[in-house]
Structure 1
């Protein structure tokens, strides 16, 4: 990575919100399942809509997962 990219790079574990793809990679859950969870919980605190894109609020989603017995 060149210096400019390094200065703008934020590690995934420090990000406030994650894309569906990032969340799938970070949590080890498939993208399809993450989208399904978001669709099943449209008013959940861990959902952030940016235009037509869904973002997952990392820390709130972790709390959701901690309370879940099945994903």
Structure 2
């Protein structure tokens, strides 16, 4: 195994499914929801599945997945 193989494994970017929080844009891409709709959901559900970090909404992926399972429409 060469030295570059181990460096690439350390530097590999995690997939969205491995991340705990997602930005609004990342969550929209991952869940196939428009960015405007995703931002509105984050604003309306602050503390449920989203948090505000500075001026940025972050979506807690696992909690949003639960939210989707428990609601028939978004």
Q: TM-score range by the shorter chain?
A: 0.7 to 0.9
TM-score by length of 2: 0.80
Distance in 2 separating the partners of 1:35 and 1:19: 9
TM-score by length of 1: 0.83
Greater Rg by CA: 2
Q: Which runs of 4+ in 1 moved over 3 A?
A: 3-6
C-alpha root-mean-square deviation of aligned residues, in Å? 1.8
Q: Which runs of 5+ in 1 are unaligned?
A: none
What secondary structure is seen at the aligned counterpart in 2 of 1:48? strand
User: Which residue number in structure 2 is paired with residue 41 of structure 1?
Assistant: 45
What is the number of residues matched between the two proteins?
Answer: 68
Q: Deviations over 1:42-66 (max 9, x none)?
A: 332x112211110000000000011
Q: Which runs of 5+ in 2 are unaligned?
A: 1-6
**In structure 1, which of residues 1, 8, 14 is the aligned counterpart of residue 18 of structure 2?**
14
**In structure 2, which of residues 47, 58, 62 is the aligned counterpart of residue 59 of structure 1?**
62
